[in-house]
Amino acid sequence: MIKLNNIAAGYNKVEIIKNISIDFEEGSITSIIGKNGCGKTTLLKTASNLLKPFRGQITLKGMDISSVPNKELAKKVSFLPQLRAVPNITVYNLVMHGRYPYLGFSRTPQRLDKEIVENAIENMRLEKYIDKNVQNLSGGQRQKVYLAMVLAQDTDIIFLDEPTTYLDINHQLEILETIKKLKQMGKTIVMVLHDLSNALSYSDRICLMENGEITIYDTPQAVYESREIDRVFNILSTQVAAEDECKTQYVFCLK
């Protein structure tokens, strides 16, 4: 789907990530994990073309993304950064921002754009907030509005940088369930997740990074069994079966 081939990237000529070759699988959730500063956000930004790589190639369904005009790429790839100022705007108008790559010169939304925005709001169950100012919403609700905006952008690939950080646990799980719903719609999700337990439980693939390189990219089970998480974070991980669900959970403690 989206494939990075021997990528190196960074800032001011300083290489932060290197030797990155990875093929994010279509219709799956991949979580990028690793210690602070190891290059997770840099990888996400590079993969979404926000940061130009020093070398290497990124292809989307075989097409070199550096040759795709920005507006066209924004119809294929969306990126939700972690830190955002809270805009003074209604839910409806913020979600409409997702339609910008599709609007013509006059920037006037057409009937189809309005329908897509309304559907995205419905999908995220935000109908009752539609005319509310985003500034008056809770962190969890606001994050859902941003996901609705991404949904309205209607891209096959969605990059999310720490979508659950700073949220209460119930809102974290709600956002992760929403992300699962996006996957069920056929989207390819690549996200940076801080919470290892959530990353292992909610993802199809885990990409573990260390010092700007990928240590292992595999299923959560294979990554767990490799014990590489334990080595990188200097912890001991254990797999447990949740009582009333057949879902596997992971707990972590100091060595």
Q: Given the rule CB under 6 A, which residues bind ligand ADP?
A: 11, 16, 34, 36-42
- Cβ-based neighbour number of residue 104 at 10 Å: 8
Residue whose CB is less far from ligand ADP, 118 or 210? 210
The least distance separating ligand ADP from the CB of residue 38, rounded to whole angstroms, comes to: 4
Torsion of CA 215, 217, 219, 221, to 10 degrees: -10
Residue 123 to residues 116, 118, 127, 136, Cα–Cα distance (Å): 10, 9, 9, 21
The least distance separating ligand ADP from the CB of residue 42, rounded to whole angstroms, comes to: 3
What does the angle CA 202 – CA 205 – CA 209 come to, to the nearest 5 degrees? 110
Q: What DSSP character marks residue 84?
A: -
The least distance separating ligand ADP from the CB of residue 7, rounded to whole angstroms, comes to: 13
The least distance separating ligand ADP from the CB of residue 152, rounded to whole angstroms, comes to: 26
Residue whose CB is less far from ligand ADP, 113 or 195? 195
Residue whose CB is less far from ligand ADP, 47 or 189? 47
Residue 250 to residues 88, 202, 208, 220, 236, Cα–Cα distance (Å): 39, 11, 16, 10, 10
Residue whose CB is less far from ligand ADP, 91 or 199? 199
The least distance separating ligand ADP from the CB of residue 200, rounded to whole angstroms, comes to: 18
Residue type, 141: Q
Residue whose CB is less far from ligand ADP, 83 or 240? 83
Cα 50 versus chain centre, distance: 14
